[in-house]
Amino acid sequence: MNRPARRSAHSTLCCWTQATEHPTAYVRRVLRAALESLGLTEETVDDVILAVSEIAANATEHAQGPYELRLRASGDFLIVEVHDRSHQLPVLSGTGAAPEPVPANALPERLGMLINELSERGRGLDLVHTLVHGRLSARRTSNGKAVAVAVPMQ
């Protein structure tokens, strides 16, 4: 009995290695094209690209490649994953709790605090966690790990 070919649950958008020239820019270009083709809002596309850029840069800097950028649907969410060959899961340096809303008159002060935070290393995933409203996850795979963000399909 012949069975139809099983479709993959994900789509690999691109692959890269540490030898790839400007890998994070490459990931951003490929991801932007994919997200825009799905009709997501410009604000959502920009937020996802910023979040995934940080994840891809971390993978390239801290984990063994090759690396893959994957996209898959899961219910009402679009899952964007970066795969690498390290089994070590990332750790958020802070609590991961979303910050309190900032009153408009405090924005200049908050902006200064954010710039100070960005000038230090090791806070990227905390910022990603906040940017994607806590929808950041990591899991081990058979040959490494996947770090993912979930985006509501609007």
- Rounded to whole angstroms, the Cα distance separating 59 from 40 reads 25
Helix (H) or strand (E) holding 141: strand 136-141
Residue % of the chain over a pLDDT of 90: 44
pLDDT (0 to 100) of residue 74: 84
- Rounded to whole angstroms, the Cα distance separating 54 from 56 reads 6
Note the pLDDT tens digit of each residue in 69-121: 999 888 888 899 999 999 998 876 654 433 343 444 444 555 555 555 555 55
The whole model's pTM is what? 0.74
Q: Locate all alpha helices (DSSP H) within the chain, ordered by sequence.
A: 23-37, 42-62, 107-119, 124-131
Place of tokens 């649950």: 9
- Nearest one of 53, 51, 52, 67 to 18, comparing CA atoms: 67
Mean pLDDT of 40-67: 92
Mean pLDDT of 126-140: 79
Place of tokens 């070590």: 88
Residue type, 147: V
- Nearest one of 84, 29, 35 to 62, comparing CA atoms: 84
- Rounded to whole angstroms, the Cα distance separating 133 from 152 reads 11
Note the pLDDT tens digit of each residue in 7-24: 346 799 999 999 999 999
Domains in the chain (CATH in brackets) are: 11-90+102-152 (3.30.565.10)
- Rounded to whole angstroms, the Cα distance separating 57 from 34 reads 19
Residue type, 153: M
Cα 131 to chain center, whole Å?
10
Residue 85 CA: distances (Å) to CA of 19, 32, 46, 66: 15, 24, 27, 7
Alpha-carbon Rg for the chain in angstroms: 17
